[in-house]
Every structure is written in C-alpha cells, then in structure tokens.
Structure 1
Amino acid sequence: MSPIYSGTLNTLKHILRTEGLTGLWKGNIPAELLYLAYGSVQFSTYRLTSRYLSTLPLFRRAGPHPRTQKETRDAAISFVAGAFAGTVATTATYPLDLLRTRFAAQGSERVYASLLASVREITRHEGIPGFFRGLSAGVTGIVPYMGLFFAVYETLKLPLAELELPFGSSDAVAGTVASVTAKTVVYPLDTVRKRLQVQGPTRGGLGVSLIKAAPASAVTMWTYERAMGVMLAWNRGGEEL
C-alpha cells in the first residue's frame, strides 16, 4: 500500500487540499497549553536541580586539572539536571502531549469533535491510563534528549558568547546546535512514542522534526536567557532599595 504522505511539500499540499487551511492547526490548543506548562516546569526544575547538584560532594571534588575537571563537572550537572527536569515536565504535561498528537493525526474524518469531547472519549473508553499511553517511551526518550540538550547548550554558551554575535544570538546558536544534536540521537525513541500514542503508523521524519525543533529551541533559549537577565537585574535593584 502506497503511503498517504510522501515528503514535506506533498504532505502540506495534501492537507490543504483535503482539510483546508485550518487542518494545519489541528491540535494547536493543547499544543499551546503543553508548551506553556512544559516550559514552566522544565526550566524551574532545571535551575533548582542544578543548584542542588552543585552543592553535593560528588560534583565538588577537585582534580589534578582544575579547569578540565570543572568543565566535566558542569557538563555532568547539566546532563543530570536536564534529564531530571525533562522527566518531571514530560510526566506532568503528558496528557496534553497525547491530545496534541491525536488531534494532529486526525484526517478529514474527525475522531474527536472538540478538545472537551476528546477528554470525555478517552476517559470513557481508555480510562485515566489512556492519557498516559506511551509515557514510558516518552520518558525513555526525554532523559537522553534533555540531558544532551542542556549539556551541549551549557558547554557552547560561554565560548559562543565570546564571539559577540549580534542581538545576543549566541544563545540562539547554542540552542540550535544543542537541539539538532539531541534530536538526532534520540529520534528513534520519539517515533516509538508517537506510534504508541496514536496506535498506528505516524508519517513524518527526522528532517521535519529538526525543522521544527531547531528554531523553536533557538527562540526558547534566547528568550529564556533574556528573561533571566531582566529578572536578575530587577531582583538586584530591589535588594539595593
């Protein structure tokens, strides 16, 4: 049986032809809620975990080469904190991720009439566990993904900052490289997660995933660093008063 979708451009044309322009935004509401909730949980958990790990004797041990030892320690802290933050955020927001995937997987024949209807249908036919279908695969994938992402990002952030790129884009570049590296390594696990969520073949590929993930991570990390800078400056100003 020939595939329904073949290539990004053909897929775009097919969706526009059979489902109209609104078809490109299927699952957008749960996706927006997911991004807001996920980002909040992820970054707050990451910062708290990083601070806690840096106080542990395991990560404070001095070595014969202090600079190399510090770089290795910082990378290890970033990996562990990132993996833990990703696990917590994924588990807390997984039902929204599942809803987003199922809405996006619907074709011209709609399975769920609305967001509220989808919640009722899943609850009635699958129970509460239905909202967490594929969670184990999601967590299995997010541990190496977020661990690698933050480890690569924190490793590249300071060296790239010395280049003095315009508009503070060094954070965006570091985020892009970190995202592409991490996404490429763990993409097979992401495929397994999506197939468990929809219980059928998901049609897509690594290329499409990178096109989405790379700019999203660039914008996210640039915004995160700018926001943290503003809040830290505001906090210092309050302490001086």
Structure 2
Amino acid sequence: MHTNAATFKKSSLCQEASYIVRKEGFRAFWKGNLVTIAHRLPYSSISFYAFESYKNVWQLILGVESQGENISADLCIRLVGGGFAGITVASLTYPLDLVRTRLAAQTNVIYYRGIWHALQTISREEGIVGLYKGMGATLLGVGPNLAISFSVYDTVRSYWQSHRPDDSTVLVSLACGSLSGVASSTVTFPLDLVRRRMQLEVAGGRARVYKTGLFGTLSHIIQTEGLRGLYRGILPEYYKVVPSIGIVFMTYEKMKQLLSDID
C-alpha cells in the first residue's frame, strides 16, 4: 500500500492497483512472493496435519468413533481441532509471516534485502521479540479462522457428498474450500487488519504509530476510520481467498487420494 499505517486513505482496488503499477511496475504484485511460498509450505502442511491430529484426539476424548455419528459432536470437534491447529501453526511460522508483510510493504526504499536479511535486521533492531510483533492479534485471528475454515469445509463437504456422492471430488473440494475461505475471512478480517498494521508500525525504521498493543491499535482504527475501517481491503481479500483456499483444499484431498492409492 502507498500509505503508511497512520494515514490510510480511501481508495478503490483499481486505484491502488494502478498506483502500484505506475510507481513500482507490474512485477511489484509479486513482491515478497518468495517468502510467501516459504511461509505457506510449512503453514499449510502443519495446519492440515495438526487439524487431523487434534480431530482424532478429540474424537477419542468424546467417544466419537467416526464422522456422522453425532452432528453436534462432529461440529464441536471440527471447531476445536481447527482452533488448536491455528494456534499451533501460527506459533511455529509467525516470523516468516512478519517478514512477508514487511517485504511486501517496501516501495521506493529497500530496507530489507531478502528473507534472511529481514530476519537479521528485525532481530538486531527490535530484538527477538520483534519477530513476534502482532502475534497476539494473529493468535486471536488464526485460531477462529482455521476453526471456521475447517469446520465449514468438513461440514459442507460431508453434507454434499452424502446427498450427491457421484459428484467430482475435485470440484466438491474446490467449491467447499472457497466457501470456507469466505466464511472464515469475513469473521476474522478485522483482527488480520490489526495484525498487519502492528507488523508495519516500525518497519524500515519508521516511528511507532500504535503504542498500546492489540486493543490500542483496534481502538485507533475505529476512532480514525470508523467501524468500516475494520473491513478496509476485504474485497481484495475475497478475491484472494476464494481461489486460493479452494485450491488448497482441493490439492489436499487429491494428494490424500493419490497417497492412499499408493498404499
């Protein structure tokens, strides 16, 4: 974005995209993409593994042997399993998420020259705790985000397959994954916005904007931008999550199918 954390201005998606192209070129849309990939690989694998593991544990605790036995118990297991999976994966991969945000936010002045340089610079200038700036908002957001995402996906997919068992697994996973992404993003977007603002407050040597942490940042956004400010940028978020989350779940199901065929 071409505005800093203190002076976010109203602009449409097309205006913002045009500004980026004029000032930084078309390649700027992929700025920080390497660190995004470096973050997404462990993030996706850990989140799916953690969700399946937590789900199995809670099935044992609640005495539910298979899905479909008890709808309420199934939904509870999915929500709790997704929440714990979100906390686990966010705790393990957060520094890469912070670096990704910092690298993508650089415009004319290149302060961080890459993933390792950003990690070293942040550690040196802000201390090790600087690598976890905004993590509170992330934990509050990613827990319910994955809880909603996994529970919506599992529930809708199970319902769909029970009523239309002959439909393509790939298309069902893609559609259910996209729906789960919209649902989870809608609920947790304000906390994700707060996380990004906190991550950028001292990026590139800038002065602090939010001095009172998570709730101070949230209060500042509401006071200066109103309640609508908490959903600034939600439309591009939808454009991103609908295909990306759908593809992630589709790939996951396809890989599970391929690996089970090998076994």
* TM bucket normalised to smaller: 0.7 to 0.9
Equivalence for 2:93: 93
Equivalence for 1:188: 190
Equivalence for 2:262: 234
Distance in 2 (alpha carbons) for counterparts of 1:6 and 1:204: 10
Distance in 1 (alpha carbons) for counterparts of 2:174 and 2:126: 41
Equivalence for 1:12: 17
RMSD: 2.3
**TM-score, length of structure 2 as denominator length:** 0.80
Opposite residue 215 of structure 1, the aligned amino acid is P
CA contact (8 A) 1:153 1:175 kept: yes
Distance in 1 (alpha carbons) for counterparts of 2:242 and 2:143: 18
Equivalence for 1:107: 107
After TM superposition, list the pairs within 5 Å mapping 1:5-44 onto structure 2: 6-44=11-49
Opposite residue 31 of structure 1, the aligned amino acid is T
Opposite residue 154 of structure 1, the aligned amino acid is D
CA contact (8 A) 2:38 2:96 kept: yes
Q: Which runs of 5+ in 2 are unaligned?
A: 202-208, 210-220, 222-228
CA contact (8 A) 1:5 1:11 kept: no
Equivalence for 2:225: none
Opposite residue 43 of structure 2, the aligned amino acid is Y
Opposite residue 200 of structure 2, the aligned amino acid is V
Equivalence for 2:241: 213
Distance in 2 (alpha carbons) for counterparts of 1:40 and 1:12: 31
Equivalence for 2:57: 52
Q: State percent identity of aligned pairs.
A: 29
CA contact (8 A) 1:152 1:178 kept: yes
Distance in 1 (alpha carbons) for counterparts of 2:110 and 2:26: 15
Equivalence for 1:238: none
Equivalence for 2:127: 127
CA contact (8 A) 1:59 1:73 kept: no
Distance in 2 (alpha carbons) for counterparts of 1:167 and 1:54: 25
Deviation at 1:114, TM superposition (A): 2.7
Equivalence for 1:64: none
Equivalence for 1:118: 118
172, 175, 179: which one pairs with 1:173? 175
Equivalence for 2:212: none
CA contact (8 A) 1:83 1:145 kept: yes
Q: Which runs of 5+ in 1 are unaligned?
A: 62-66, 236-241
SS at match of 1:53: helix
Equivalence for 1:72: 72
CA contact (8 A) 2:103 2:114 kept: no
CA separation of 1:72 and 1:187: change in aligned 2, threshold 3 A: same
Deviation at 1:207, TM superposition (A): 0.6
| Count of aligned residue pairs for this structure pair | 228
**TM-score, length of structure 1 as denominator length:** 0.87
CA separation of 1:3 and 1:141: change in aligned 2, threshold 3 A: closer
CA separation of 1:110 and 1:218: change in aligned 2, threshold 3 A: same
Distance in 2 (alpha carbons) for counterparts of 1:190 and 1:172: 24
Distance in 1 (alpha carbons) for counterparts of 2:257 and 2:137: 35
The C-alpha deviation readout for 1:14-36, integer Å capped at 9, x for no partner, is 11111112211111111000110
CA contact (8 A) 1:59 1:77 kept: no
Opposite residue 141 of structure 1, the aligned amino acid is G
Distance in 1 (alpha carbons) for counterparts of 2:232 and 2:96: 20
Equivalence for 2:213: none
